[in-house]
Amino acid sequence: MSFFTRLSNGWQLANLSFATINRNRSLLLFPLFSAISLVLVLATFFGGTFYFAGDRIEALMDDEQYGGLLGYGLIFLYYLVNFFVIVFFNAALIHCAIKVLNGEETSVSDGLSFAFSRIEKIFAWSVLSATVGTLLQMLQNAGKIGEFVASLLGIAWSVLTFFVVPILVYEDKGVFESVKASGQLMKQKWGESIAANVSFGLFHFLGIIAAGVLFFLLSSASVILAIVVAIATVLLVSTVITAARTVFVAAVYNHVTGKPAGNFDGDVLDSVFIQK
């Protein structure tokens, strides 16, 4: 299959994802809740920590023996909070998206209730993700070769864990079993690499361009207004694309597990990945 055929199929899948979001706009609330919660939790946690113990932390950071350890400890906590918030709302969104693809009614409260019922699994996955993220950060700090190796490992980890969240929250598997099952599913169905599908990235790029144009047009009247509108546009585009990407993951997971995938065509879903 040619690159342009894959690009065309990717564009079709992206549009189907956006169409699904358009018919069920409440799905947009999950990435919005995720962004708001992330900002509030991180501001409260780290802001409070440095407010009450900033001098002590700064002194420890300057310590040759414990500074590096403390730094990576803070990185781990940062990743842990990030991953927990993101995965929690992703699990809620995937649940609602799968119900939509199955032709069932759903609601925001339904998704949140489902995520809360899987809270232990979500936390366990967040711990593993934060650990991997911290180790990759340590590798990146080891120099140019470390950065290169960390980038390759990061890509491999992303491919390996493509299906982890739906597997983890829907199947009777632990964290490590879910990672293994995700890797096996990738290998069995489509091989080891994701094809060049740039559609979501293109939509994101167009959204950023639109924000830049709006800023340019409004800046002559009011710089503050231009900044607010541009930021709001970027956030809106990011929210829609995040929701659409998650709908896409839900459709792929349903397809490979033999469940309904809504309006998504099975052959086109197969084309997203390179055959082994």
pLDDT in tens, 22-56: 888 888 889 888 888 888 877 776 665 555 555 55
The band of 232, judged by pLDDT with boundaries at 50, 70 and 90, is: confident
The band of 275, judged by pLDDT with boundaries at 50, 70 and 90, is: low
The band of 84, judged by pLDDT with boundaries at 50, 70 and 90, is: very high
Mean pLDDT of the region 93-99:
90
Q: For residue 208, what pLDDT is reported?
A: 87
CA 128 to chain centre: 15
Whether 215 contacts 223, CB under 8 Å: no
CA 64 to chain centre: 35
The band of 270, judged by pLDDT with boundaries at 50, 70 and 90, is: low
Whether 126 contacts 179, CB under 8 Å: no
Task: Give dist(CA 168, CA 184) in Å, integer.
Answer: 14
Mean pLDDT of the region 121-137:
92
pTM: 0.78
Whether 73 contacts 119, CB under 8 Å: no
